[in-house]
A and B are shown apart, each in its own frame.
Chain A
């Protein structure tokens, strides 16, 4: 019996040890200041709570071993104890102390993590000191606007590492929530008002995670809620600056092949009404009704979830309703195989950087 319990606790311990998840996704492998602070709170509270569980379990086990009704005691009437003021005061006071221990860092961190007062701080030239990104969530895609850089992208968020980045978030149709588990907790994108918070991407941890973090929608938003993923490319500041310049100077490349030329023509007939292919944010947010495809050639995924292959791009263009049911593009199209090839080739050629 005792051995069995030992094996069980070993098994549970082993399960817990393996339960850390992937470095690009798990909150248990924090890769930034915010997630780190939240992880510390997790450790502190788990410690305190384990203490509580251990105390309860010890009393519980003693009770079960010592006070089971034994043979020959069928008629025994135990003493009817009314209570004990001393004990009751003890188990009121001790939990209060434990909660105070938790409450102090809770309040402190609430104010720390919610502090966005530096967001709009400007240097003497009137330029904002920190990077600000406007996030707009729509069924079922994400738009990232860099207001000070004058560029817009979607689905792949590109950020510099090791600095505070401020986010302003809003939803354009129904409520979503913006969450990059390894980097920090989520915040809702409301339909009513803008929310703000900040995140920090740790350079070293980003390297370990392959420079890509997974982002998720955490608020039920319809049939394709599970597919409303985005990816974060966390790169050093210099690399980020290069990307910004490339995006700012991005001009639609002249198609190199006849196929791509055909793709461009189809695109301009069928797609350009909703999808922009320029990274410049000259249009107001309400007019940006579909993902911006400026840097599409460098995307990490198709539609945020599928591996980036030509086949998947074609599949997405033809049958988006099968991949993300309820999406607002269309359920299915009937492009010919040739047209799909042309569109895919054209889209894959849209690169701001090689």
Chain B
């Protein structure tokens, strides 16, 4: 009897998640799928470090190494870091601005499913003839020469999930522009909302170049065009430009939300408002703007000429100024505060020195003539892991602890949190600090192995040991999540006690409609303001009335699935470069596209007006203590 009941509720939960358009549930989906890909990418990283533990190691062969290295980068950037940040954006941003959902809930779900199917598509390459092997940058001459379908999995997978990212970016822009609660002016928005806003506008402008260039590569490999084929009059440098016009803003798409997360955590646990709020906003915008001006610093050795190199060198160094402003503002936020050490705060405290390390090596690489030595060596590997792990991953871990109670109503264990931090932080510095020197000592990046007798053995060994410590840290975090999920606890609205922004005024997790009455925002740090005046809740901006809600839908799932199917059709079409095409490929391509566009048509023709939660039901919830299932 009871097993049937559990089974049924399990299936209904699955169905609920497949059809949900609720930003909080989509946040769970992003967290789950992004977390899964994070573990996958981490495992690939571990294999890389095991292979490089000693010279001429034979743990994996050269081809497999290139596949692991490519998939590690691609997975971490596109399928782990961005989705995990989207998880927190979805969970928190609508609450922070006092909205009941995002502007386009249906699009939000579609964005997730596109990312999900794109990621699955890319990873199926492991089982279908080999993963992509040309690096996450997939430079055109090598990616055209690559055998098998690995690169096609890369291009099609990135394309599908890229659509999703673009949609999510547009959605957040629309949400933040149009859905702010009364009184929530732009200059009252919490920093995480601000950084989400700027990162979304970067997505809007940076993803189209990627989409276009990836389409070109798809056409070259699958339909015999010759855009990048030098022997037929094509040009490969254009791929480098396109890729980095996307690729450089991409790193700001990752780091800005991370800055936002720390700009929430540091004031909260310093019990002090963010120092220099306006300059923080200004610095964010400036970083976003300059982020588009510096792409060619990835191409200093391509041979663009002295003038281009000099201009891009100086532009690159200029980014240090707004970034420095942020660092000092965080330090001064803590200055004079009352700092409480918690797990989110310890990650923030670990972030500051780690990120500064990564930032200064970035400036060093901006010095073009010096970069001729540093480019494509382990120095750059150290640099971007210092900013991406020390910045983005630390932020993801900090936010996991910080927002877990808001997302799931439970606190992650503090004790295990510190254990994770200790292992991961020490392991991280051990892995990557020595890599600076490996690069300076002459070790190129992306090498499947290295020969003995070049003075590189010791540091590679230390680096690999560090990777093992990081792995232990992540395993402890997983244990923590499992233990917490099984515990029966229910935290209050403001479990950290010092919450400052609107989300902490709501139950944990918030009811599915978020706000019974939209709040009236009377200033920056809205919830802190009310608390200081002795208020127990936010003042309402509207009378209690029926709430209009969107209906769930399975259509986003099928729109994305159609592209996933079409991807296989395109890959095995009769024209493809590998020569294993099949007439059925075209049929599958058409079937998949028909599924996508048919479902979209269905969505367009059938009016979905949503539904209303009657006022009476909301009042009833009050009697039950505001808890809504």
- Chain A residues in the interface with B (C-beta under 8 A): 15-16, 19-22, 25-28, 35, 37-38, 41-42, 45-46, 49, 52-53, 56-57, 59-60, 62-64, 67-69, 73, 76-84, 87-88, 91-92, 95-96, 99, 102-103, 106-107, 109-115, 171, 173-175, 177, 179, 181-182, 184-188, 190-193, 195-196, 214, 216-226, 229, 305, 325-326
Contacts and interface: CB of A to CB of B under 8 A. Distances in A.
Interface of B is mostly: helix
A56 B320 CA distance: 14
B369 A175 contact: no
B266 to A, nearest CB: 11
A68 B346 CA distance: 12
Nearest to B326: A91
B441 A53 contact: no
Given A95-B320, A106-B314, A191-B141, A45 B364 contact: yes
A79 B450 CA distance: 56
Contact of A25 (B309, B321, B442, B447): B442
Interface of A is mostly: mixed
A28 B441 CA distance: 6
Given A21-B440, A173-B145, A67 B310 contact: no
28 contacts: A21-B455, A22-B454, A25-B442, A26-B440, A53-B356, A56-B352, A56-B356, A77-B271, A81-B332, A82-B273, A88-B325, A92-B325, A96-B321, A99-B320, A99-B321, A107-B314, A109-B368, A175-B139, A181-B442, A190-B237, A191-B141, A195-B303, A223-B66, A225-B62, A225-B66, A225-B447, A226-B447, A326-B63
Contacts of A181: 373, 441-442
Contact of B236 (A68, A99, A115, A192): A192
B313 A107 contact: yes
Contacts of B371: 185
A347 B543 CA distance: 93
Interface in B368-393: 368-373, 375-377
A202 B253 CA distance: 45
A192 B237 contact: yes
B265 interface: no
A52 B356 contact: yes
A67 B338 contact: yes
Interface in B426-453: 434, 437, 440-442, 444-451
B369 A80 contact: no
B62 A224 contact: yes
A323 to B, nearest CB: 11
B336 interface: yes
Contact of B336 (A49, A78, A92, A102): A78
Given A41-B369, A45-B364, A88-B276, A190 B271 contact: no
Given A78-B338, A223-B63, A38 B134 contact: no
A63 B275 contact: no
A223 B237 CA distance: 22
B13 interface: no
A188 B137 CA distance: 15
Contact of B62 (A62, A76, A326): A326
Contacts of B273: 80-82
B451 A305 contact: yes
Nearest to B449: A226
Contacts of B332: 81, 84, 87
Contacts of A15: 434, 437
A285 B523 CA distance: 72
Nearest to B267: A80
A81 B336 CA distance: 9
B364 A22 contact: no
Contact of B363 (A57, A102, A185, A196): A102
Contacts of A59: 328, 331, 335
B369 A110 contact: yes
Which range contains the number of B residues in contact with the other chain? Answer: 35 or more
Contacts of A87: 328, 332
Closest 8 CB pairs of A and B: A185-B372, A21-B441, A226-B447, A49-B360, A181-B442, A83-B276, A195-B303, A223-B62
A256 to B, nearest CB: 33
Contacts of B446: 220, 225
B11 interface: no
A171 B324 contact: no
Given A49-B363, A186-B376, A214-B442, A67 B334 contact: yes
A186 B325 contact: no
A173 B306 CA distance: 26
A42 B436 CA distance: 12
A60 B331 contact: yes
A47 to B, nearest CB: 11
A312 to B, nearest CB: 13
Contact of A69 (B305, B321, B339, B456): B339
Contacts of A305: 451
A229 B183 CA distance: 64
Contacts of A76: 271, 338
A83 B275 contact: yes
Nearest to A226: B447
B76 to A, nearest CB: 17
B437 A177 contact: no
B75 interface: no
B301 interface: yes
A19 B320 contact: no
B367 interface: yes
B363 A45 contact: yes
A63 B142 contact: no
